[in-house]
Structure 1
């Protein structure tokens, strides 16, 4: 089961890298077209905007499952004591609640966008599916936050092998 989770993670990371590569190539071509030829790529901003959302929200569950969100380590010596486990669980439950709330808000926004047929400016790409994708990502992240509250963050087996070699 864990092996399958890592394969899915690697697949998502690969797709994210391809989206980033596409954004870089599109931006490069758009700048060259704008500066040298005098003709920018029509809809490049729309495509970049959608690709950025896909990358960010594909990465959100991965970052959450790894416990890799930005944190302030000012009180780590105190919070990492065994008797403070309740605090770490409480924080994880709060993070789960916030992510679930954000997912619910994206669902509401996606339903509204579908109802009014909201589209992007230049290419007229429907926004509803993108909002539902964001909602699904936040919901998965909420589940991941809840899981790490009780099991701890997912550690990459390849990373542990490298640390053992050192």
Structure 2
């Protein structure tokens, strides 16, 4: 089961890397076309906007499952003490609720976008599926946050970081 989760994670990471590569190549070609030939790539902003959303929201569950969100460690010594367990539970519950609310809002927005046939400006790409993907990603992140509240972050057994040994 765990190895399957890691295969899925590696697959998602590979797709994200390909999306980033596509964004870089598209932006490079667009700038070259705009500066040298005077003809930008039509719809490049739409494509870049959609690819960026896919990368960010595909990565959200991965970052959440690894407990790799940005944190401030100013009060770690205080919060890490055993009598502050209630605080860690409260923070975990808050993260789960906030991600759940964001997922719900994206579902509402996706339904509205489908109802009014919302599309991107240049290429007329429907926005509804993108909003539903964002909702799914936030819901999956909420589940990951709930899971790591009880089990701890998902760590790759094959991954050895030198900074962890310090």
TM-score (norm 2): 0.95
Give the aligned partner of residue 88 of structure 2: 88
Mapped partners of 2:70, 2:162: distance in 1: 23
Q: What SS is found at the alignment partner of 1:72? A: coil
Mapped partners of 1:81, 1:148: distance in 2: 18
Work out whether 1:31 is the aligned partner of 2:24.
no
Change (3 A) 1:164 1:107: closer
TM-score (norm 1): 0.95
Mapped partners of 1:95, 1:161: distance in 2: 27
Give the deviation of 1:80 after TM superposition.
1.2
Q: What SS is found at the alignment partner of 1:122? A: coil
Mapped partners of 1:146, 1:164: distance in 2: 24
Give the aligned partner of residue 144 of structure 2: 144
Change (3 A) 1:51 1:67: same
Deviations 1:126-166, CA, capped at 9 Å, x for gaps: 00000000000000000000111111111111224867999
Give the aligned partner of residue 112 of structure 2: 112
Q: What SS is found at the alignment partner of 1:24? A: helix
The count of aligned residue pairs is 166
Give the aligned partner of residue 53 of structure 2: 53
Give the aligned partner of residue 40 of structure 1: 40
Q: What SS is found at the alignment partner of 1:158? A: coil
Consecutive unaligned residues of structure 2, counting only runs of 5 or more, are none
Q: What SS is found at the alignment partner of 1:85? A: helix
Consecutive unaligned residues of structure 1, counting only runs of 5 or more, are none
Change (3 A) 1:156 1:30: same
Cα RMSD between the aligned structures? 1.6
Once the two structures are overlaid, the 10-residue window that deviates more, 156-165 or 143-152, is 156-165
Change (3 A) 1:104 1:84: same
